Amino acid sequence: MRTYTREAAAPAPSRRSRERAARELDAIVESRLFRALCEPARIGILKLLTVNGRSDIATIAGHSPQDRSVVSRHLAQLRDAGFVRREKVGRNVFFEMDGPAVVAQLEDVLERFRKLIPLCCPGDARRASPTEGTEA
C-alpha cells in the first residue's frame, strides 16, 4: 500500500532570481528555434521533409498553397534555425531535416530550463510524494 510523505519546504525564490529567470525564459522563447516553429507553414514543411526525406524546392513548394518564393523564405528561416540542411547540386537545391542538430538544440533548451527551475519554480514542496511499501 502507498502512503504519502511530505518533503521539507524549500525557501521561496527571491524576486531577483525570478526576474533573472524571466529574462532567460524570454531569451529561450524568442530564439530562432522557437520563432521557426511559430509558423504553421514551416511546421508543414518539416512534416513533409520528415515523410519525404531530401527534397528540392519545387517538390516542397508543390505541396504548399504558398508561392515558391514564400516557401523559399520559410526554408531559409528553418535553415537559420538549424532545422534543415541545404545542398546545391548543379542548378537544384535540396533540403533535408538535420535530425542531430535539432536534437542538440532541444537538449540545449532543456538544459537551460533545468537551470531556471531553482531560480523561479522549484515545484510545490507541499505536494505529497509516494512512498512504496509503507502502510497507512
Q: What is the pLDDT along the chain (136 residues), one digit of tens a residue?
A: 665 555 556 677 788 888 888 888 888 888 888 889 999 999 999 999 999 999 999 999 999 999 999 999 999 999 999 999 999 999 999 999 999 999 999 999 999 988 888 888 877 644 544 554 444 4
Distance of CA 107 to the CA centre of its chain: 9
Contacts 24+ apart (CB under 8 A), 107-113: 109/28, 109/31, 109/33, 112/24, 112/28, 113/28
pTM of the model: 0.72
Please tell me the predicted confidence (pLDDT) of residue 7: 56
Question: Whole-angstrom Cα distance, residue 109 to residue 112?
Answer: 5
What domains are defined for the chain? 14-118 (1.10.10.10)
